[in-house]
Amino acid sequence: MGMGIHGVRLDGHKNTVNCTPVEMPIPEKVRLPLALLGANTSTFLVKKGDEVAVGQPVADQGKGIGVPVYASVSGTVAGIEKLRLTSGAVVDTLVITTDGKQTVWEGVKAPTVTDRQSFLEAVRQSGLVGLGGAGFPTWVKLDAQVEYLIINGSECEPYCTADYAALRDFVSDVAEGIELVKKYIGVEKAVIGLKHPPKDAEAAFKAIPGAQVQHLREYYPIGAEKMLIKETTGRVVPGGKLPKDVGCIVINVNTLAYLARFLRTGMPLVSRTVTVDGSAVNSPALINAPIGVSVGDIFAAAGGFKTEPSKVIAGGPMMGVSLDSLDYPLLWQNGSFLALNEKDAKLPEPGACIRCGRCVEACPMNLMAFQITKAYRAKDLDTLKAIRADLCIECGCCAYVCPAKRDMVTSNKLAKRFMADEAKKQKEKEAKKA
């Protein structure tokens, strides 16, 4: 299925766009998940009672596409606890009680990079994953021969401003990251997609040889990978394919800034800037926080709540996920946390589908959300395959425009999981026959 120029226009609610990120107080403890993508393929390198320092590796990179995990605080390993991720996967987390010193590990040093392979290995050792929300290991994404490096500076979700802060405060790091990728991966063209760039950003990017700045249109979800590729290059990523299959890599601006800093300093990904906002928040802010700190501690650093939150969301209001506890730890890919009051959190009562077609008009993937919901409820696998329910990017446009206020996003997510489970069963069945 092709892609049109569908989507929706949203109120930005960029309340923190002029905020300077502030360092949060050192927390009492952090929890560092062993698995980035929900699969325990690596192992912890430390045990209960061990002293650790900032930047010290605490878990190896494991098999496949993993990356190492590093201590974000200095202190003592208190043990291992289970954590249920928002995906539903249950993983081990390393609990570190802090000593308040933030002592840097003596082994932190800039890596030696001389060619493509040593560059990719350095990116892997940095622990860097996509900071735009997906959390996919950056070294895997970069390990491709492509024509275009597309830099995602759109930040199209409402409230979120951490990427804008990177463009404003660390534009030289972002530019350096672009040049490093171009140099070592061999990408000819760099396209920087921006909406409302800070005044210095555009000039810095235009100074990069072979780079061009493209002002993005005001629609959501233009920052989604496939949408951004279509907008900047005109290329369409076919269903079941990856950006590299059409000669593109998409990297978030914060990811590039962290990459440049790691190659310069050797300090791996141990902290990040987070947007803290929402109608229940006392004072919307940008917070620099160590990975693994609790969401509750992050909100406290922003002045706490002015009213009891009815819903807390990791991410933006369109694609974010509700959390069941303020004890949930900050993960590498979490760029924002929103706390909503009772009025904003209350979901409207859904009505009957009136077949108005607005969900079809809004869908950036040209899918028919109402049909996906119907087929999923009937557990009609053949129809789900035929209407390509697996291509849904879960952007929320269908639910946003629905006059009946039907939650088609949840149905779409469940439909995709149902399809994946059935495919797994079929694969296992065929393996037994072989």
For the chain, domain boundaries = 116-265, 358-433
Q: Could you tell me the two tokens for 76?
A: 């003592």
The pLDDT score that the predictor gives to residue 81 is 95
The pLDDT score that the predictor gives to residue 236 is 92
Q: Which of 1, 8, 30 has the alpha carbon at shortest distance from 271?
A: 30
Helix (H) or strand (E) holding 312: strand 311-314
How far apart, in whole angstroms, are the C-alpha atoms of residue 68 and residue 138? 12
The pLDDT score that the predictor gives to residue 39 is 60
349 by DSSP, 3-state: which?
coil
Strand 311-314, strand 271-277: pairing: unpaired
DSSP secondary structure letters along 356-395: --HHHHH-TT---HHHHHHHHHTT-HHHHHHTTGGG----
**DSSP conformation class of 374:** H
DSSP secondary structure letters along 278-289: STTBSS-EEEEE
190 by DSSP, 3-state: which?
strand
The pLDDT score that the predictor gives to residue 53 is 98
Reported residue count of the chain is 434
| Range 116-265 classified under CATH 3.40.50.11540 | yes
- Identify the bridge partners of residue 215 per DSSP, sorted by sequence position: 194
The one-digit pLDDT tens for each residue of the chain (434 residues) are 334 457 899 999 999 999 999 999 999 999 999 876 656 678 899 999 999 999 999 999 887 888 999 999 999 999 999 999 888 888 999 999 999 999 999 999 999 999 999 999 999 999 999 888 778 899 999 999 999 999 999 999 999 999 999 999 999 999 999 999 999 999 989 999 999 888 889 899 999 988 999 999 988 999 999 999 999 999 999 888 999 999 999 999 999 999 999 999 999 999 999 999 999 999 999 999 999 999 999 999 999 999 999 999 999 999 999 999 999 999 999 999 999 999 999 989 999 999 999 999 999 999 999 999 999 999 999 999 999 999 999 999 999 999 999 999 999 999 999 999 999 999 988 888 87
* Structural contact between residues 260 and 277, judged by C-beta atoms closer than 8 angstroms: no
The pLDDT score that the predictor gives to residue 414 is 94
Strand 69-70, strand 57-59: pairing: antiparallel
* Structural contact between residues 249 and 237, judged by C-beta atoms closer than 8 angstroms: no
The pLDDT score that the predictor gives to residue 1 is 35
